[in-house]
Amino acid sequence: MTRLFPALALALAVAGLAAAPVRAEYPDRAINVTVGFAPGGTSDVAARILGERLTRTLGQPVVVDNKPGAGGSIAAAATAAATPDGYRIMLSDPGAFAINPIVQPQNAKYDPLADFTPIALVGQSPLIVVVPASKPFTTTAELIAFLKANPDKASYASSGPAGITQFGAEVFLKRAGNLTAVHVPYRGGAPMMEALAKGEADFGVAVLASAVPLIASGAVRPLALAAPSQTPLVAKVPLLDQLGMKDTTMTSWVIMIGPKGIPADIVAKLNKAIVEAIGEADVKERLLKAGIETYPPATPAQTGAYLKQDVERYRAFQGELGDRLTK
């Protein structure tokens, strides 16, 4: 009898191991990359370029899933609620993660830091002050002089209320001397740029990726970059910092994240694949032509630290701007 119990225990242990589910090697099916905006925007373009490369690397389809609405918050909420297995991830942006949870918490019922797993930094597109080609302003100083002389009729276009382009415009107005202008919101970056090309507003602070085609065609005129350094896409455009407007750096970044709790080995595999992809000359060039500059390689931990830093920056901007973003 004494010999029977050890044998029985061993048999049960072996049976338990056999019954335990074995996780298939990741990935063994398609990966969905959620984007919080309609096709054609900065995040969508980056997701499609990256998705093509990741499909080859990972050996499974990487499919872009557009979930527009609420400034990206619908997509972020769906990602936060997804199963943390690496098959539902998101190419995030400042609107959904650094702006909406602060300015529109009713539309962002998630914690931008605690409810997600940082995976990798992808790229960024700086904000740029642009004016319609039909307007007479050729320098930032001329635009500011017009704004000062016309506080009640001067206007700016944005891609939507409380989004990054309104943030950029209001920071610009604040730094230019606490000026005001009428806010004319549109439903996305592309409609905003079309409106500026038609002269429907006096200026806008646009995401460079959205502005590049119209700058190239001459429909809009670039005046200044809200960036820490120059970009080859608009090499001769001065920085706002160089014009004496300090603390105006704002970029629309794209960062790969997933729901909280993705296993570390899956996060590491995704990070490695993304870092390799954005390091390739072809991918880097395609993203740059779309107005997106790739980041240097970053670990998941560094990605999380970057996200935390930018969330805190936008909280500081919001504290300074007050009710400007509700107009």
> Per residue in 89-148, pLDDT tens?
999 999 899 988 988 888 898 999 999 999 999 999 999 999 999 999 999 999 999 999
Residues 243 and 140: their CA atoms lie apart, in Å, by: 8
Tell me, what's the pLDDT at 219? 98
How many other CB atoms sit within 10 Å of the CB of residue 319?
Answer: 9
Q: Is the pLDDT of residue 5 over 90?
A: no
Positive or negative, the Cα torsion across 302, 90, 207, 326?
Answer: negative
* Of 280, 288, 286, the residue nearest 48 (C-alpha): 286
Q: How far apart are CA 50 and CA 30, in angstroms?
A: 15
Distance, CA of 96 to CA of 163 (rounded, Å):
9
Local structure of residue 86 (DSSP, 8 states) = S
The whole-angstrom separation of Cα 259 and Cα 83 is 7
- 27 preceded by cis ω (within 30°)? yes
Answer yes or no: is pLDDT of 162 > 90. no
Sign, CA torsion 268/272/274/275: positive
Q: Which two tokens stand for residue 131?
A: 């004016």
For residue 11, what pLDDT band results from cuts at 50, 70 and 90? low
pTM of the predicted model as reported, rounded to 2 decimal places: 0.84
Cα–Cα distances in angstroms (integers) from residue 284 to residues 211, 293, 298, in the given order: 19, 8, 15
CA distance 237 to 128: 9
Q: How many CA atoms lie within 13 A of 96 on its CB side?
A: 30
Measure the CA–CA gap between 137 and 107, rounded to whole angstroms: 37
pLDDT in tens, 171-225: 999 999 999 999 999 878 888 999 999 999 999 999 998 899 999 999 999 999 9
CB atoms within 10 A of CB 32: 17
Going along the chain from its start, the domains and CATH numbers come out as: 31-124+253-322 (3.40.190.150), 126-250 (3.40.190.10)
Secondary structure (DSSP) of 216-237: HHTSEEEEEEESSS--GGGTTS
pLDDT score at 37: 82
Tokens found for residue 142: 């001329």
* CA gap 147, 287 in Å, rounded: 34
Q: What is the DSSP letter of 322?
A: G
Give Cα 64 to chain centroid, integer Å: 15
- Tokens of residue 56, six digits: 């080859």
What is the pLDDT, as a whole number, of residue 189?
Answer: 83
Contacts of 147 (CB under 8 A, 6+ apart): 154, 173, 176, 179, 181, 202
